Structures are given as structure tokens and as C-alpha cells.
Structure 1
Amino acid sequence: MPLDPAPAVPTRQSLADHLIRARISGDVATSRENNLSHYRELVEGNRNFWLGLELGDRWDEAAVLELMAERCGVVADPAHLHGQDTIDVDLTIGGLDRMAAVMHKAAENGSRVLVATGHPAGVFAVHQVVAAALRDAGCTLVTPADHLYADGGEIRHMASVAVLHRGGSLMHTHSPDPMREVLDALERAGEPLPDLVIADHGWAGHAGGRGIDTVGYADCNDPALFVGEAEGTLLVTVPLDDNVPPHLYAPMTAYLLAAAGLKQPA
């Protein structure tokens, strides 16, 4: 799949300005009501909101909100129940810097890396470029075997990024089951698991819960990956709106690759 021409690498300030304009950070599209309802579902044990992690009953709503204010930048005031919510742009860029350090180490080590997304019309655009850059740097890209199925769909890979496909369409999914099936298939075939997973949603949660070094992206209404990072199950969770139009992520991707010391793929 050909890549669009790479933009110039932005400065930290110009990236921050872009992220806010694009509503990747700052005043994001996800409402406060939606955020709070998802935090409540996680606390009440709804596994659809655990994203493949085992969170038990260790967290209450106040603790989740406090964590999300600290690590994502949502409004900290528990009395703020309706309307606009936020992602702190400095936390987004700080997360990208920490993710870049992990990617740099993977490139130095020639690691086996699995890249996957539950957002094929959003952050897939970032994953695609990152996968190509890591391959160019000497990493081995781990892709799903053929004829793997989960959640009524087939697991495929596009530009070395694992995705879920159903009925001729790529699927938005929070489920951990596709990643579980990919990793189980590697074990059945006697192949080593990835050294690093770069993903989102349940793809990231299950990999981290499996003990694999995992970095990922999460929106302000997906608290599980932030909880996983706080508990040490994930290495890095980058807060951002994970489903804006794909081209809007291009400056962020350029910044991420530069911070990791990786070249833009041709």
C-alpha cells in the first residue's frame, strides 16, 4: 500500500498547535457523559470495557477519574457531568516521546514487532507508517497467519498492520479476541511471540496482559489502557482522539518517527 508523502517534522509547539486544531487533543469530540459512563462500566466489571486486561475490583469511579485527569487530561472536577471534555496536549506529546524511546530500542535490537489496530479508519494511518519505518530499520514485522478468525470476522493484515475484516469491510473493534487468536496461532506453530506490540483497544490490552511489551493509543473514553499503564501491564499509553480523519495524524506520525530516530519510509 503506497504511503502519502511525509510532512516536514514539526516542532513540539507546532505539533501541539496542530493537535489542538485537529481535535486530536484539547477539546475533543468525545463528550463528558460518554467518558463518565465508560469509567463506570469499567468499575462495575463490564469486560467489554477492560480491553482484554484483568482489572478485578481494584478501581472505583473516583480513582479512575483521578487517573484519567492525571494521564489523559480530562477535567478533574467530579462535579463536571455534562458537555465538553478534554485531552491534555502536553500529555499526548509526552506519551509520543515515551513511545518513541521504546520504538528506538526495538529498532536497535532488530526486534520482532506486531502492529495492530481496532481503528482501521483512524489511527491505522499512524500504524501503517510506523510499521514500514520499523521494517526499514531492521525489525521483523509479525503478521497474522492466514485463515484466523475471531468475533465473526477474519483477521487480516494490511501494510503489515493486523486488522479485523468482516463482510467485505474492515471492522472497528474493542475486542481482545483477535489478538488472542493471533498470539495463540503463533504458539501453536511453535513461533516466538513478538518482542513488542504497538496497538490500540483490545489488541493492545490482551498483548500487555499476556506479558508482552506493549505500547498503544487510547481515547479519553477508553480508560482501561491507562489503568494498564498505571499498573505496569502496558509500557506506554498515548492519550488522543483515535478516530479523526486519518490524514490529520500525519504531522504527529512525522514527529514520532523523528523522536524515535527512524527514517520516514519511502
Structure 2
Amino acid sequence: MLTTSVLRTHLLAAGLAGAVATTRERSLRRHRLFAARDPRALLGLEPEHPWSVPQLLALMAGACGACPDPGRRDGRETIDPALTVSALDAFADRLALAAARRAPVLFGTGHPRSLLPFYAGLAAALAAAGCPVLTPGYGRCIEVTTRFGVRPYTMSYVRGVALVREAGAACAPGAPGAHTHSPLPVRVALAAAAGAGGPLPALVIGDHGWLCGAGQLGFDAMGPADADDPAAFVGQAEGRVSLAVPLDDALRPGAYRMLTRYVLNRACLSQ
């Protein structure tokens, strides 16, 4: 059995928690953008209340373990591994509930190069337990605003996990999809599911725009969020995101393998 002590050691050794790769400068910049309600930082969330940078830092200190001092402007961000473990426990419990109910689940990621294997392992386990793993909107074109202008992307699914690829891009091995913060993919997927007569997901598991965009639309949504993603934790505080798991979301895929094992073991979904 994989213990919480072993998991905590791994979180720190892999850089998933503790002093993470996210810089304080980058984190503060995202906090300022969120406070100004810049769509690049909102990730599809529409906050109910105004949030100042000090308020966001206080929130992130409690939910993530980041430093609350706005005067600290450099160095690396921190994530409290105890908070990560606690959130992963809650994540596993929610997975177990979905499996027991054989609930339809939608997976999606804006971080496919890092998190695709993590989600794919969960999708396979839930499918084996009888949960429909949904794939609505496959092949749909989505125009996403990027720093390079508006670019067309295509919705795709890999091992049950939604992602977007640049339109016309070759689907070469080792190129799982594009990195995006946009909530448009989850909106397109959910609209496609509704347009086809369902089923709609009882649970959405994802990051960035998948997490916040689904939560904003009233869906039960949970997933990982980094120390520079205040939107996920504001969504959780305001009751629209069901669960945000604090961890570094941009490491090599192998770093998340133990997390998959841990949550599936706790959810009694291991094969």
C-alpha cells in the first residue's frame, strides 16, 4: 500500500510540492492579472467578488501554502505538501463516489505534455468500473486567442482525455497536443454533449480552462492547479470549483505516476 509518507517524500523530491519551479515573479504577475479580471488569468471563471492581490495571496497561502507577503517578489513559489496530500485524498474519495454511481465523466487538459498520462490512468480505471468516459465534440474546430493572435485548434481525444491540437498539425507520436489556458474547449465539448442529447458529465476532471470553465457552468469539477493559478482556488473558495489540488502542473509525465497510483489505491480502483 502506498502510504501518505511515501507520497509526501515523492512530492518534495519530484518538485510537485515544496519549492516548485514556478517563480514568484510569474506568480505575482498572474495574481495582478486576475485582480484586474484579465481573461488570460480568469481561465473561464467569473468571480462573484472583487479580489485584490493581497486577498489572493492570503487565499493562496491557506489553500496552497504559498507565501502571503506581497513584498516577497523573487525566488521560487512554495506549495505545502500536506495540503497536496489532503486534496489528493479528497480527490480519490470523489473518484470512488463517481465509480460507485457509474457516473459519466469528462476528462480534459490544457497541459497534455505533462498531465495526459495522469488523466488517462484515471479514465481507464473509471471506465473499467463502469463509468462512461465521454468524448463529445471530437474534431470540432475551436478558435482560441493566444499571444500570437487567434489560432484555430481541433478538439481531439487521447485515451479518453480531451485536448486540442493546432488545426492541420500532424499527429506525430510524442506530440499529444497544445498547451492552453482557454475555457473554450470545455464549452465546446459540453455544448456538443448537450446538442447530441447527452449524457452530460456528472464530473469533469481537468486543469486550467477545463477546470474553471466547467465549474463556472455549474458542473462538478476538480483537478490540479499550480501556485500561479489563483482562478482555480478562487473558484473553490466561491463554491464553483469542487476541488483544486495544489501541485506543480508542468513537470515531466513520470512525476505524476505515483499520484495516479495513490488516488486509485485510495479509491479502490486499482487494477
Same fold by TM (over 0.5)?
yes
Q: Secondary structure at the match of 1:29?
A: strand
Alpha-carbon offset, residue 256 of structure 1: 0.9
Letter in 1 for 2:266: A
Whole-Å separation in 1 of the counterparts to 2:13 and 2:105: 32
The aligned counterpart of 2:154 is 154
Flag structure 1 segments of 5+ consecutive residues without an equivalent: 1-8
Whole-Å separation in 2 of the counterparts to 1:124 and 1:71: 24
Whole-Å separation in 2 of the counterparts to 1:74 and 1:27: 10
Whole-Å separation in 2 of the counterparts to 1:215 and 1:180: 16
Whole-Å separation in 1 of the counterparts to 2:88 and 2:38: 29
Alpha-carbon offset, residue 78 of structure 1: 2.4
The aligned counterpart of 1:6 is none
The alignment's C-alpha RMSD in Å is 1.1
The aligned counterpart of 1:80 is 72
Letter in 1 for 2:64: C
Alpha-carbon offset, residue 56 of structure 1: 5.4
Letter in 1 for 2:189: V
Q: Secondary structure at the match of 1:122?
A: helix
Contact conserved, 1:115 with 1:160, CA < 8 A, in 2? yes
The structure 2 residue matched to 1:116, chosen from 108, 122, 126, is 108
Contact conserved, 2:43 with 2:212, CA < 8 A, in 1? yes
Flag structure 2 segments of 5+ consecutive residues without an equivalent: 145-151
Alpha-carbon offset, residue 192 of structure 1: 2.8
Poorly superposed stretches of 4+, deviation over 3 Å: none
Whole-Å separation in 2 of the counterparts to 1:263 and 1:133: 7
Whole-Å separation in 2 of the counterparts to 1:84 and 1:206: 28
Q: Secondary structure at the match of 1:237?
A: strand
Contact conserved, 1:217 with 1:237, CA < 8 A, in 2? yes
Aligned residue-pair number: 256
Report the TM-score, using the length of structure 2 for normalisation.
0.92
Matched, 1:233 2:225: no
Q: Secondary structure at the match of 1:197?
A: strand
The aligned counterpart of 1:176 is 183
The structure 1 residue matched to 2:117, chosen from 103, 114, 125, is 125
Report the TM-score, using the length of structure 1 for normalisation.
0.93
| 107-116 vs 183-192, which moves further | 183-192
**Identity of counterpart residues, as a percentage?**
41
Contact conserved, 1:195 with 1:213, CA < 8 A, in 2? yes
The aligned counterpart of 1:3 is none
Alpha-carbon offset, residue 204 of structure 1: 1.1
| 74-83 vs 58-67, which moves further | 74-83
Alpha-carbon offset, residue 144 of structure 1: 2.5
Whole-Å separation in 1 of the counterparts to 2:190 and 2:137: 10
The aligned counterpart of 2:149 is none
Matched, 1:203 2:210: yes
